[in-house]
Structure 1
Amino acid sequence: MSDIQDEYVKQHVSAAQITNTIRLSRFFLVSILIVSLYVYCIYQFYFTKPSFYFNLWFIATELLSCLSLLIISIYFKPHNFALNHAHRWLQFQCLAIGSSIAIGIGLIYYYLPQYNPDFSHVNALILSALLLIVSQAFALTFLTQRLNYFCLAFIPAIFPYLASQFITTETSNYLFYLTINFTLIVILLCANSTTRIHKRISALYSKNNRLVKNAEQQVLWTDELCQQLQTEINRSKDIELQLQLNNQLLEQKVKERTFDIAKMNADLENQQQNLMLAHGVAGLRPWDWNIKDREILVTDSKHQKTLKPSKQHHHQLQSIIHPDDLEHFQTSMKQNLRGQTDQYEATYRIQHTNGKWKWVHDIGRVIARDPNNNKPLRMVGIRRDIHQERTDQERLKLAASVLQQAAEGIFILDEQLCYIDVNPFYEQLTGFTHDQIIGKHLFDITSNYKPQQRNSHSSIINQLDKMGEFDGELNEKFLSGKELTVWMRINAIIDEKNRVTHYIGIVSDLTERKLQEQRLSYLENYDPLTDLPNRFYYNYQLHQYLVSQKDSIKQLAVIRLNIDRFRPLNEFLSNSGGDELLRQVAQRLRLTNAEALFVAHLNGDDFAIVYEISHIRPSVQHHCERMSKAFSLPFNIFGQDHIITLSMGIAFYPENGRQLDYLNNCAEQALIEAKSLGGNTTRFYSNKNTALLEQGIYLERDLRLAINNNELIVYYQPKINFSDQNIYGFEALVRWNHPSKGIIPPNLFIPLAEQTSLISDIGRIVIQQTAKQIRNWNDLGFNNICVSVNVVAQQLQRGQLLEDLDHAIQTYKISGSSLELEITESSLLENSVTVKNLLDEIKKRKINISLDDFGTGYSSLSYLADFPIDILKIDRSFISRIGQNKQEAIVSAMIAMGKAMGMVVVAEGIETEEQLQYLQDLECDIAQGFLFSKPLPESEATTFLEQHRLIPS
Structure 2
Amino acid sequence: MSDIQDEYIKQHVSASQINNTVRLSRFFIVSILIVSAYVYGIYQFYFAKPSFYFNLWFIGTELLCCLCLLINSVYFKPDQFALAHAHRWLQVQNLVIGSCIASGMGLVYYYLPLYNPAFSHVHALILSALLLIVSQAFALTFLTQRLTYFCLAFIPAIFPYLTSQFINTETSDPLFHLTINFALIVILLCANITSRIHQRISSLYSKNNRLVENAKQQVLWTDELCKQLQAEINKSKDIELQLQLNNQLLEQKVKERTADIAKMNADLENQQQNLVLAHEIAGLRPWDWNIKDREILVTDSKQQKILKPSKLHHYQLQNIIHLDDIEQFKHAMKQHLRGQSPLYEASYRIQNSNGKWKWVHDIGRVIARDPVNKKPLRMVGIRRDIHQERTDQERLKLAASVLQQAAEGIFILDDQLCYIDVNPFYEQLTGFTHQHIIGKNLFDITANHKSQQRSSHYSILQQLEKIGEFDGELHEEFLSGKEQTIWMHINAITDEQNRVTHYIGIVSDLTERKLQEQRLSYLENYDPLTDLPNRFYYNYQLHQYLVSQQDSIKQLAVIRLNIDRFRPLNEFLTNSGGDELLRQVAQRLRLTNAEALFVAHLNGDDFAIVYEISPIHPSIQQHCEHISKAFSLPFNIFGQDHIITLSMGVAFYPENGRQLDYLNNCAEQALAEAKNLGGNTCRFYSNNNTALLEQGIYLERDLRHAINNNELIVYYQPKINFSDRNIYGFEALVRWNHPSKGIIPPNLFIPLAEQTSLISDIGRIVIQQTAKQIRYWNNIGFDNICVSVNVVAQQLQRGQLLEDLDHAIHTYNICGSSLELEITESSLLENSVTVKNLLNEIKKRKIHISLDDFGTGYSSLAYLADFPIDILKIDRSFVSKIGQNKQEAIVSAMIAMGKAMGMMVVAEGIETKQQLEYLQDLECDIAQGFLFSKPLPEKEATTYLEQHRLIPS
Normalising by the residue count of structure 1, what TM-score does the alignment of the two structures yield? 0.42
Higher-Rg structure is 1
Normalising by the residue count of structure 2, what TM-score does the alignment of the two structures yield? 0.42
